[in-house]
């Protein structure tokens, strides 16, 4: 019996050869320097913030080198699969605008290098496994789970490295005849790769993020083909990244320890390995100690939670870019009219240690982003948010788009627009007082916070005078000067400085006058610029509100 007989016995249906596959999936016809990257999620749950980070880097690298970014569904571990999560992952990725050029899209596939779903590629993997069997570089293993458990226990007791390797790899030494007979007898088996490595020896490899590395050689005879007819991650990575012609494998640093296996697999096939970039994991500060973002414990691990909260996706992407490249933050503040797409990303500027999730940084980027939008954009984006998450808000927005736009336009169309919104979800609540019924509700629910140092009569006089002389159809400065004159009539100094110097002559200063009017208009001491609040409310409503307050003051 030869290894060829054995390979034919195991895979009689496989007629294609590795050379055929090389022709079926020829090298890509791309310009020099163009990179092919991929995002290869397993369908085991939602889109993790770390996965969005990885795919963003994939996307950037392909995009800025005019290469290809593709997606592949890694669903060979059928036990861990969560029904429907592949499509959900892709929908979320696309919602972020991280759209692949080809690959798995959730409900369809696109591209010449597919299928892009690993469970549909069994025939392709078998061709390569058969080739390794014929060359004697892989072998069937008949060890049962119990035998493997027992082996592990002995190794642990003897304090040697655990696993299936060299003298511990029992089935490695079976003769071809023995293996052939066992398969003929119907004994269950997996197929293992026959490693040539020695743990004591080192390999040298360059990682695009971590630089030049010395790692122990792989010497484990890893399983490459499972009894369910599908390959393991390691083997699927070899075959797919070779035949999909990936040039850079960008993945989380948890895969770094498997790199020697992958390097050996590529060498054994005589294939050029892709370059690798192992990205840092995103950490969280948990009571002073750093730990990985946890799928179970942290809501920020699910990137969709930020969208649900109303953060703009652009701010989330920008935030992830600050983790990717330390100089991005400075760049984006200097290039306010640009997006992360224009930023020249480099692997060299990526931090090695896990980045700490920094909510306040995300919030600042978000404020900057929303401040840059036009009033129409703010309206549309808030409406988009409301449609998905808040039916009542949607109704309010649809009823009077112009009014909402006037509100959000306060101090917007200028060189340094106001940066008061972190999320689309908070724009309406922060401005609810503009709406008549909300204003009435606020009046009912809250005590008016007028300064107790002023007599009720003074407050009323100021408001009556303000109503009688109302004129905001002038520029802001003139309006404010008029307010000063009004204040003077009621004993308020024209400025805080004058008041401080002559406290016996005045009861307060112009800021106090503005506060009285502000409270009357908004029920609160804080609001956007009062002059603009008045302009948005318009004369009738301003007068109505003053009457309401006078009524309440009695």
In the complex, the residues that contact ligand GLU under the rule CB under 6 A are 40-42, 74, 237, 249, 251, 255
Walk across the sheet containing 289-292 and list its strands. Answer: 289-292, 282-286, 355-356
- Least Å from the CB of residue 272 to ligand GLU: 17
Smallest gap, in angstroms, from Cβ of residue 277 to ligand GLU? 10
Shortest reach from residue 309's CB to ligand GLU, in Å: 25
CB of 250 to ligand GLU, least distance (A): 7
CB nearer to ligand GLU: give 82 or 501. Answer: 82
Handedness of CA 402, 407, 408, 412 (dihedral sign): positive
**Least distance from ligand GLU to the Cβ atom of residue 394, Å:** 36
At closest approach, how far in Å is the CB of 241 from ligand GLU? 8
Q: How far is the CB of 14 from ligand GLU (least distance, A)?
A: 25
Query: Alpha helix (H) ranges present in 423-475?
Result: 427-431, 436-445, 456-468
C-alpha span between 423 and 17 (Å, rounded):
55
Is 51 or 366 the residue whose CB approaches ligand GLU more closely? 51
Nearer to ligand GLU, 89 or 458 (CB): 89
The beta strand positions in 151-288, using DSSP E, are: 190-193, 202-207, 211-216, 223-225, 248-252, 275-279, 282-286
Q: Which is nearer to ligand GLU, 251 or 467 (CB)?
A: 251
Nearer to ligand GLU, 42 or 232 (CB): 42
User: Over 52-71, what HEC string results?
Assistant: HHHHHHHHHHHHHCCCEEEE
CB 101 to ligand GLU: min, Å: 17
Helix (H) or strand (E) holding 500: helix 496-501
Give the whole-angstrom CA distance, residue 171 versus residue 164.
Answer: 10
Nearest-angstrom CA–CA distance, 272 and 266: 7
Q: Which residue, 130 or 262, has its beta carbon nearer to ligand GLU?
A: 262
Handedness of CA 464, 532, 429, 518 (dihedral sign): negative
**Separation of alpha carbons 408 and 337, rounded Å:** 20
Pick between residue 42 and residue 527 the one whose CB is nearest to ligand GLU: 42
For ligand GLU, give the closer residue by CB, 118 or 220.
118
Q: How far is the CB of 446 from ligand GLU (least distance, A)?
A: 51
Cα–Cα dist 96/90, whole Å? 10
74 vs 221, which CB is nearer to ligand GLU? 74
Extract the tokens encoding 454: 């002023």
The least CB distance from residue 74 to ligand GLU, in Å, is 4
**Whether the Cβ atoms of residue 20 and residue 127 lie closer than 8 Å to each other:** yes
Question: What's the closest the beta carbon of residue 81 comes to ligand GLU, in angstroms?
Answer: 12
Q: CB nearer to ligand GLU: give 48 or 423.
A: 48
Q: For residue 314, with 0-12 CB atoms within 10 Å meaning exposed, 13-18 middle and 19 or more buried, which class applies?
A: buried
Which of residues 244 and 405 has its CB atom nearest to ligand GLU in the complex?
244
* Token pair belonging to 529: 């610029």
Cα–Cα dist 470/422, whole Å:
34
- What does the alpha-carbon distance between residue 374 and residue 394 come to, in Å, rounded to a whole number? 19
Length of the chain: 554
- Cis peptide bond upstream of 212, omega within 30: no
Q: Which two tokens stand for residue 162?
A: 């655990």
Cα–Cα distances in angstroms (integers) from residue 388 to residues 45, 310, 360, 391, 425, in the given order: 21, 10, 25, 8, 11
Instruction: Give the list of residues 6+ apart from residue 160 with CB closer than 8 angstroms, or none.
Output: none
The C-alpha atoms of residue 34 and residue 62 are separated, in whole angstroms, by 7
118/318 with CB nearer ligand GLU: 118
Work out how close the CB of 210 gets to ligand GLU at its nearest, in angstroms, rounded to a whole number. 16
Q: Are 310 and 429 in contact (CB under 8 A)?
A: no
CB of 396 to ligand GLU, least distance (A): 42
The neighbour count for residue 59, using CB atoms within 10 Å, is 26
- Of 70 and 532, the one with the shorter C-beta distance to ligand GLU is 70
């Amino acid at each position: 019996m030869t290894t060829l007989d054995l390979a034919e016995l195991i895979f009689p249906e496989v007629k294609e050869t590795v050379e055929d596959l090389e022709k079926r999936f020829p090298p890509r016809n791309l310009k020099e320097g163009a990179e092919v990257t991929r995002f290869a999620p397993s369908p085991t749950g939602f889109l993790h913030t770390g996965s969005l980070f990885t795919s963003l880097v994939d996307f950037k690298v392909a995009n800025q080198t005019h290469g290809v970014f593709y997606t592949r569904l890694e669903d060979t571990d059928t036990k861990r699969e969560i029904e429907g999560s592949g499509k959900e992952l892709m929908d979320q990725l696309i919602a972020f605008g991280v759209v692949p050029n080809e690959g798995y899209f959730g409900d369809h596939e696109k591209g010449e290098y597919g299928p892009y779903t690993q469970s549909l590629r069994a025939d392709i993997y078998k061709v390569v496994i058969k080739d390794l069997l014929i060359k004697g570089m892989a072998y069937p293993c008949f060890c049962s789970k119990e035998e493997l458990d027992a082996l592990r226990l002995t190794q642990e007791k003897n304090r040697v490295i655990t696993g299936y390797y060299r003298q511990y790899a029992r089935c490695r030494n079976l003769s071809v005849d023995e293996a052939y007979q066992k398969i003929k007898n119907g004994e269950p088996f997996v197929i293992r790769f026959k490693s040539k490595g020695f743990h004591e020896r080192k390999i040298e490899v360059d990682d695009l993020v971590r630089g030049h590395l010395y790692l122990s050689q792989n010497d484990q005879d890893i399983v490459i083909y499972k009894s369910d007819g599908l390959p393991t991650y390691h083997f699927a990575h070899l075959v797919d990244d070779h035949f999909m012609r990936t040039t850079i494998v960008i993945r989380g640093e948890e895969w770094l320890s498997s790199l020697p296996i992958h390097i050996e697999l590529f060498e054994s096939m005589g294939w050029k390995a892709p370059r690798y970039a192992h990205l840092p994991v995103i950490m969280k500060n948990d009571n002073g100690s750093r730990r990985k973002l946890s799928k179970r414990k942290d809501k920020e691990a699910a990137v969709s939670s930020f969208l649900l909260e109303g953060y703009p996706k652009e701010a989330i992407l920008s935030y992830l870019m600050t983790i990717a490249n330390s100089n991005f933050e400075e760049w984006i503040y200097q290039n306010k009219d640009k997006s992360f797409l224009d930023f020249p990303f480099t692997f060299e500027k990526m931090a090695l240690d896990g980045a700490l999730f920094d909510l306040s940084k995300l919030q600042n980027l978000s404020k900057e982003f929303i401040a840059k939008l036009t009033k129409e954009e703010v309206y549309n984006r808030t409406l988009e948010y409301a449609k998905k998450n808040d039916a009542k808000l949607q109704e309010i927005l649809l009823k009077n788009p112009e009014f909402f736009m006037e509100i959000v336009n306060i101090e917007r169309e200028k060189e340094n627009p106001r940066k008061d919104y972190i999320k689309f979800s908070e724009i309406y609540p922060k401005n609810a007082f503009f709406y008549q019924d909300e204003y009435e509700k606020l009046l009912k629910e809250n005590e008016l916070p007028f300064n107790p140092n002023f007599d009720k009569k003074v407050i009323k006089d100021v408001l009556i005078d303000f109503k009688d002389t109302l004129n905001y159809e002038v520029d802001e400065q003139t309006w404010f000067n008029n307010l000063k004159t009004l204040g003077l009539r009621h004993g308020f100094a024209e400025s805080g400085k004058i008041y401080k110097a002559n406290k016996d002559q005045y009861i307060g200063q112009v800021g106090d006058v503005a506060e009285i009017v502000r409270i009357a208009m908004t029920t609160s001491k804080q609001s956007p610029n009062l002059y603009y609040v008045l302009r948005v409310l318009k004369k009738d409503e301003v007068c109505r509100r003053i009457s309401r307050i006078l009524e309440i003051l009695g």
